[in-house]
Structure 1
Amino acid sequence: MPTADCQESSSSPNTSTARFSILSRRQVHSMESTGQETELDAFQRQVAERFQDLATAGSDELLSIPWVRKLLETFLFCQEEFRVIVFNHRSNLSSPPMDRHIGDFFERSVKALDVCNAIRDGIEQIRLWQKQLDIVLCALDNQKSIGEGHFRRAKKALIDLSIAMLDEKESSSSPAHRNRSFGRQREQRSSFTQFRSLSWSVSRSWSASKQLQAISSNLTAPRANETASTNGLNVAVFTMTYVLLFVIWALVAAIPCQDRGLQTHFLVTKQFLWAAPILSLHERILDKSKKRERRNSCGLLKEILDIEKCNQHMTELIDSVQFPLSDEKEREAKQRIQEVRTVYEAVKDGLDPLELLVRDVFHRILRSRTEGLNSIGQNR
């Protein structure tokens, strides 16, 4: 009969193996948790750094075409980082509460697609205004002697530009104004009306303001218990949702689109690294919208304000000239023409890359949503 020492000795290998197995599983789980935490923390820092960089823009740079392009590049970067997170943790996204969080995000992202279409329409409208500036330059620039006929041609282009921008201001306030405005049977409006009606990619009753409300609806900060149960994945989803909301809101603020509205509330505590720069940008953009010269604007894009100022200055000049031109008026005319050329070149060089980025944002949102839903479906 074996002794107690022998029994203990014979059972030790099995006990040690079991303990080693348990410790190994705990160690692996701990390493996975640490790796996930590092990955998610890095995502938070990257988002914060990108928006902090955007927030350093000066007053003249904020909401300019280059700044909006930088904003869209920031979104594309964040979207790609988030896509990697979704892929790496797809097995965890099909269980509650993550299935609800990721599902809500994808539903909100669908609403952003319509806004992208409306923004592309707005970019096309700015191109129309650019063409009127081109006519002004063709009439007045590089002329050996500027005559009365040149000024008449330029004035007609400026009148058409004023009408087009007025129509856009009315349509930006509400869809009803858009319908009424484009229903007018005025010969001088017909070319703009026909072009715009053909370029619409959203319905006449569509509202940018309502889309923003839908994206921001019931957007609340992550609960501590859900953050613990999801190892922080819900925080990543919340972060990307807020990035989506702010970027779409800023686009609506900057670019003409129907029924614009900036009343969206950004309620987020500064416990998130990225909250401070986003809230700062939100406040600065709202402040711009309240300025007298921007209050009734069809868009806060810096170049739109520049077009309006050029139009006003050049119109005032043309209305004040008498022929033959005095040396003083000729010098003033050349100065105003140079202002028009500067604005024209900025718009001409900036709109194509801007539109390509809006298109890229549209397709990236669509592709990421499709990939995410497919990944989740395969792991159920």
Structure 2
Amino acid sequence: MTHQAASSLLSSLGSVLPHFSMHRANSLSMKRHPALQEFENRLSEKLEALKVAGEELGFLSIDWFLQSMTVVLATHSNVEALIPDLPVSELRDDKWVDECLDDSAKLLDVCNVLKEGISDVEHYQTLVQVALLNLDHNNESNFSEAKFHRARNALQDCKEAIKKKDTEYRQGQPKSKLENCSSMLRTMGEKLVNPKGVNAAKGNGFLNAIYGAKVTTIFLCGLLVIALACKPKRPLVSLSVTSQYLWSSSLLSLQHRVKEETDRRKNGGSIALLCELDNVDSSVRKLHELLNGNSALTTEKKSYPSSFQSVEMRELVEDLRKNLRHLGSALGPLEQSVNELFRILIHTRLALLDTLSNSK
């Protein structure tokens, strides 16, 4: 790939995803504590596995996001496990404690926004289920004008719900909570400072572990925030990651593939970056168009059964049902993962405060 092509690829995605760039590390590599070595090895392995999963499941699919959340959870759990052995006397007077607590508070806010975003998708799912209930082929004999109108109105509500999310981002309306969350993550990224020199070695490398957890969370949770929205336009932060970390190349490689997929979906006209949500939206629009084309049914009652049994109608209803099933099956587990991240962040805060208190 030419330098110009590479630059174009990176700039084309600046509005959708945190950008990570890797600089050359100092000529002398930092001597790693065994616990930090293990942490970095684990993170590198999980990021590599996440890339493989993306090739198999599809980047930006809901199953892939479920796996990405397991990486975030494991990373924060590993950070929490390092706290009991933390030599606090070495770190007690540093400002890193306040920064760590402040960032974790912001990540708690991110969890709350993600849960609301998932709840919005669940509401959208309910609207689609109403349409499917009224288009149930198992009850064709009871198909009526009222059911026809209820199905068509429910599909129209689905289109309006997606349009509203899209409008919040594109038509100068007040920011949605998801967009505010993206802005907050961007600000966090701009303020991230890579531990260097003496600070990098403090606490047996604990600050480096914290840094790795923050970068991973901003990257993956920031991507999930975007996927739950529709065509976000605001650019996100550009983060700098040095090559001193064992996980740096794995993160950059994963980011590159995700960027390619995100760029492809945007250029393809996708409404939502979350694959399953976009598939449901596509099915909703096709079915709604078909029902609108058969508006003569409202005056020709005898046409209901024959039209309802049409191959095209059956195929569209089945496609919508299948796509909705794929979306709905993972929403619950995804919300549980966000709740678990919230819990771990709280426990880490309490463990850190407790350790600092006991050291005094």
Q: CA deviation at 1:87?
A: 1.8
- Contact 1:60-1:302 within 8 A present in 2 as well: no
* Superposition map of 1:1-380 within 5 A: 37-56=33-52, 57-58=54-55, 61-92=58-89, 94-95=91-92, 99-141=94-136, 142-145=138-141, 148-173=145-170, 177-178=173-174, 207-228=180-201, 230-256=203-229, 261-291=234-264, 299-321=272-294, 324=303, 330-380=310-360
Distance, in Å, in 1 between the alignment partners of 2:45 and 2:163 is 39
Q: Relative to 1, partners in 2 of residues 1:348 and 1:231: Cα closer, same or farther, differing over 3 Å?
A: closer
- Contact 2:169-2:233 within 8 A present in 1 as well: yes
Q: CA deviation at 1:216?
A: 0.9
Q: Relative to 1, partners in 2 of residues 1:103 and 1:215: Cα closer, same or farther, differing over 3 Å?
A: same
Q: Report the TM-score, using the length of structure 2 for normalisation.
A: 0.78
For structure 1, list consecutive stretches of 5 or more residues without a partner in the other structure. Answer: 1-33, 180-199
- Contact 1:54-1:71 within 8 A present in 2 as well: yes
- Contact 2:162-2:230 within 8 A present in 1 as well: no
Q: CA deviation at 1:289?
A: 4.0
Greater mean deviation of Cα atoms: 364-373 or 145-154? 145-154
Q: CA deviation at 1:234?
A: 2.8
For 1:31, the equivalent position in structure 2 comes to none
State the SS of the aligned residue for 1:363.
helix
- Contact 2:185-2:218 within 8 A present in 1 as well: yes
Asked which structure has the greater CA Rg, the reply is: 1
Root-mean-square deviation over aligned CA pairs: 3.1
Q: Deviations over 1:223-269 (max 9, x none)?
A: 23433455433322221221222232122122239977452213213
Q: Deviations over 1:130-183 (max 9, x none)?
A: 111111111112233555543322110011111111111222458x6148xxxx
For 1:195, the equivalent position in structure 2 comes to none
Q: Which amino acid aligns with 2:188?
A: I
Q: Report the TM-score, using the length of structure 1 for normalisation.
A: 0.74
For structure 2, list consecutive stretches of 5 or more residues without a partner in the other structure. Answer: 1-30, 298-302
Q: CA deviation at 1:361?
A: 0.9
Q: Relative to 1, partners in 2 of residues 1:72 and 1:208: Cα closer, same or farther, differing over 3 Å?
A: same
Q: Relative to 1, partners in 2 of residues 1:64 and 1:259: Cα closer, same or farther, differing over 3 Å?
A: closer
Q: Relative to 1, partners in 2 of residues 1:229 and 1:82: Cα closer, same or farther, differing over 3 Å?
A: closer
Greater mean deviation of Cα atoms: 43-52 or 308-317? 308-317
Percent of matched pairs sharing the same residue? 23
Q: CA deviation at 1:123?
A: 0.9
Q: Deviations over 1:31-53 (max 9, x none)?
A: xxx9x821110110001111111
Distance, in Å, in 1 between the alignment partners of 2:160 and 2:166 is 10
Q: CA deviation at 1:63?
A: 2.0
Distance, in Å, in 2 between the alignment partners of 1:316 and 1:154 is 12
Q: Deviations over 1:103-149 (max 9, x none)?
A: 32222121111111111111111111111111111111223355554
- Contact 2:33-2:205 within 8 A present in 1 as well: yes
- Contact 1:136-1:158 within 8 A present in 2 as well: yes
- Contact 2:61-2:276 within 8 A present in 1 as well: yes
Q: Relative to 1, partners in 2 of residues 1:374 and 1:259: Cα closer, same or farther, differing over 3 Å?
A: farther
Q: CA deviation at 1:328?
A: 10
Q: Deviations over 1:46-101 (max 9, x none)?
A: 011111111111275222222212122221111111111122114355346xx333
